[in-house]
Chain A
């Protein structure tokens, strides 16, 4: 039995498998494929597997072996496809598992402490009670301060139509969500990157708030930021917490290998980040439409109160409902 003969004998089956792969790979032809052809595909795949397993014994030439490796890999991925998550899974993830995880998440507490602590300290320093007169200027820079003051020189509801609001919502969506996602991603740097990013944002925002409170534009400023504040700032804290979970999982592995620990943390952190993206989305629309509108301040603060209540409901009411999925549960799914 010579190799050439062997290859010639088996090549038709390999080619047939290759054809079936091509048909299965595109959605249109996949649907048309009958059950008979599908079982044939499995049989052909298994026989190609057997040929590959015996390639060494058959002394197949290197090129043929490579071809078989490719073919088996391709067919393997078609046979063992992954079911994509359904929308209901995502809903369950966002509305049940994420709040439960966050409710018990120490990183959320750490992120909140860092953010709010940094924010309040920075705001205090930049306000008129601060001990450092040039603090805001040092942190924000002269240009930024001028820009801020200019932005809020007029009440923001002046001269902005519905059309501008739509555009500004787009800007807030892009700009703020990018900040949040950066907070999340930087967390991977052993958690320190995320802490730095969180603290940086906190100090910067705090300085802006503190400084604006000393200026004549403070009314316009605070009228503007009230309505969307809760969603936006909570979203930043949540992104930072998700990022820290990633980063600290490399340091504190809980007995897993570092790579596995990071992977497990990634599974838990990504849905949290998506919840934060939704919050950014809500915040962008509030910031685009309600914050600059001519609505009375009482209504705007009502929006702030309602969104705070919604957040508390999400984090505490939904978070407390039922047990957190034990970490052991999720470890079982590492491989999956």
Chain B
């Protein structure tokens, strides 16, 4: 699992005590600078508000000293402990991070402790180094404004595996991007473009496919990636992308050379993920593809019900299946099978 070369991307794998590896998407400097800017604005806003409220209250009570005390203490707390306090109380998020859907976690994937939250935020001072002193002559005075360049932070992120700044390294935390938790919806992406599986053109290509052909596992993954992104692409771009896989495939499968590559990928996608119709053809095919045979659980398709009796009552309705669903969905007995492999 770990000795296999991993693709260069910003995902980090966490292995749970159940020996399941799940992934987080790491947040790089540009994802985090937005959250930082929001937090700075909030700090400035809260400080101004505190100054105004404490100032006017203490003026009304004729106790300016008390007002100054309150303002300075709030400045102290905001400046040094804003991030630490929120990341502790909101389990790894500040308001800025919540708005930009980031979260601080330990590198082993667990939530951070109070100590880590405080420490990594104190050390932010180092991460902002070196300062560049700007001398604006608007005031016509020797006022220099220190602007943080954050080069230390960028260097640390570049040299660490998980985009960790110095503060993260010192308490072994990382910042991950929480992806918008869409829905359990899966295989209807192709249809989201308005074309249905019943599209006659698609059906024609589907019919032309050799009955025994099954895409390999990597091709299947590529197909699902293509299908989930397809709706964001224009027709020209689709042709361009689909050509790279479609042209060699059309040749290999002996399809007419004028086959639309986008449609070909669509047909393959439907065959791999959606269609039920040619199940028999596959079963009687001469060479059983290793893809299905490799899964000991799914091959016999056990007609089991979910063993959790409450699941059906309280669960919201399932997403509308795109194609007729057979009643025998595999239930929880899968969970008792030791996972033969983990996703790479």
By a beta-carbon cutoff of 8 Å, the part of chain A in contact with chain B is 1-16, 18-19, 40, 43-44, 46-47, 49-74, 76-77, 80-82, 84-85, 161-171, 173-174, 177-178, 181-182, 184-186, 188-189, 193, 246, 259, 262-263, 266-267, 270, 273, 335
Given A3-B187, A70-B179, A12:B311 Cβ within 8 A: yes
The CA-CA distance from A193 to B166 in the complex, in Å, is 14
Which residues of the partner chain B approach A11 to less than 8 Å between Cβ atoms? 184-186, 318-319
- Do A64 and B76 have beta carbons less than 8 Å apart? no
Judging by beta carbons under 8 Å apart, are B330 and A60 in contact? no
Which of A8, A65, A185 contacts B122 (CB under 8 A)?
Answer: A185
Residues in chain B near residue A263, CB distance under 8 A = 169-172
* B69→A69 contact, CB < 8 A: no
Which of the listed residues B17, B178, B308 has the most CB atoms from chain A within 10 Å of its own CB?
A: B308
Stretch at the interface among B202-210, B216-224, B236-244, B257-265: B216-224
Q: In the complex the two chains form, is A8's CB within 8 Å of B318's CB? A: yes
Residues of B within 8 A of A84 (CB): 88, 113-114
Question: Which 3 residue pairs spanning A and B have beta carbons closest together?
Answer: A9-B329, A11-B184, A53-B339
| Chain B 294-333 interface residues, beta-carbon cutoff 8 Å to A | 294-295, 297-298, 301, 306, 308, 310-312, 314-319, 321-323, 325-326, 329-332
**What are 16 residue pairs bridging A and B, where the CB atoms are less than 8 Å apart in the complex?**
A2-B274, A2-B276, A4-B187, A6-B298, A12-B312, A50-B339, A54-B339, A56-B217, A61-B186, A62-B225, A69-B24, A168-B65, A170-B72, A186-B126, A188-B126, A262-B170
Q: CB-CB < 8 A to A162: which residues of B?
A: 65
Tell whether, in the assembled complex, residue B291 and residue A59 are in contact, meaning their CB atoms are under 8 Å apart: yes
Kindly report which residue of chain A lies nearest to residue B72, judged by CB atoms. A170
Tell me the complex Cα distance, A305–B108, Å.
49
Residues of chain B contacted by A262 (CB below 8 angstroms)? 169-170
CA gap between A267 and B311 in the complex, in Å: 44
Q: A59-B272, A72-B16 are in contact. List 6 more A-B contacts (CB 8 A).
A: A49-B20, A57-B295, A60-B186, A65-B343, A166-B69, A266-B170
| Cβ contacts under 8 Å, B312 to chain A | 12
Query: Pick the contact of A188 from B166, B292, B343 — CB < 8 Å?
Result: B166
| Inter-subunit contact A270/B66 (CB<8 Å) | no
- Name the A residues within 8 Å of B122 (CB-CB): 181, 184-185, 270, 273
- Distance A8 CA – B187 CA, assembled complex (angstroms): 9
When distances are taken between beta carbons in the complex, the residues of chain B under 8 Å from A266 are 119, 170-171
Which of B23, B114, B179, B276 touches A85 (beta carbons < 8 Å)? B114
Residues of B close to A8: CB separation below 8 A: 318-319, 321, 325, 329
Q: Which residues of B contact A73 (CB under 8 A)?
A: 14, 22-24, 109
| Docked complex Cα distance between A57 and B294 (Å) | 7
**Which of A7, A55, A61 has the largest count of B CB atoms less than 10 A from its CB?**
A61
Encode B224-252 as 1/0 by CB contact (under 8 A) with A: 11011000000000000000000000000
Which residues of B lie under 8 Å from residue A12 when comparing CB positions? 311-312, 315-318
Which residues in A have their C-beta under 8 angstroms from that of B79? 178
- What are the residues of chain A within 8 A of B200 when measuring CB–CB? none
A-B contact count (CB 8 A): 282
CB under 8 Å from chain A, chain B span 40-54: none
User: Nearest Cβ distance between residue B266 and chain A, in whole angstroms?
Assistant: 14
B-chain residues with CB within 8 Å of residue A7 when the two chains form the complex: 184, 186-187, 319
Give min CB distance, A278 to chain B, whole Å. 14
Q: How far is the CB of B223 from chain A (nearest CB, A)?
A: 9
> Can you name the residue of chain A whose Cβ is closest to the Cβ of B67?
A167
Is B155 an interface residue, CB under 8 A from the partner? no
- Smallest distance from the beta carbon of B237 to chain A beta carbons, Å? 19
A residues near B140, Cβ cutoff 8 Å: none
Task: Decide if B80 touches A181 in the complex (CB within 8 Å).
Answer: yes
Partner of B273 from A47, A61, A164 at Cβ < 8 Å: A61
Q: Does B153 contact A (CB under 8 A)?
A: no
Kindly report which residue of chain A lies nearest to residue B182, judged by CB atoms.
Answer: A67
Give the distance to chain A from B76, nearest Cβ to Cβ, in Å: 4
Contact across chains for A5 and B276 when beta carbons are under 8 A apart:
yes
B-chain residues with CB within 8 Å of residue A168 when the two chains form the complex: 65
B307 → A minimal CB distance (Å) = 9
* B340-A57 in contact (CB<8A): yes
B301 touches A188 (CB 8 A): no
Check: B288 CB closer than 8 A to any chain A CB: no
* B60 part of interface (Cβ distance < 8 Å): no
Q: Please give, as numbers and ranges, the residues of chain B lying within 8 Å of A246 by CB-CB distance.
A: 170
**A163, B274: Cβ atoms under 8 Å?**
no
Taking the closest CB of chain B, its distance from the CB of A121, in whole angstroms, is: 28
| Residue on A nearest B225 in the bound complex, by CB | A62
- Separation of A55 and B227 alpha carbons in the complex (Å): 17
Which of chain B's residues have a CB closer than 8 A to the CB of A188?
A: 123, 126, 166, 170
Known contacts A163-B64, A170-B70: A62-B224 contact under CB 8 Å: yes
Structural contact, A14 and B76, CB atoms closer than 8 A:
no
Task: Bits for B53-77, please: 1 = Cβ < 8 Å to A, else 0.
Answer: 0000000000111111111110110
For B334, the closest partner residue in chain A by CB is A50
Distance in Å: Cβ of B65 to nearest Cβ of chain A: 4
* B2 close to chain A: CB less than 8 A: no
State in angstroms the CA–CA spacing of A73 and B108 once bound together: 11
A12 to B297, CA, bound (A): 20
**Are A13 and B315 in contact, with the CB atoms below 8 A?**
yes
Residues of A within 8 A of B311 (CB): 12-13, 16
B337 at interface (Cβ–Cβ under 8 A)?
Answer: yes
Q: Does B198 touch A at the CB level, under 8 Å?
A: no
Residue of chain A at shortest CB distance from B116: A266
Complex CA distance for A170 and B73, rounded to whole angstroms: 6
Find out whether the CB atom of B301 lies under 8 angstroms from the CB atom of A70.
no
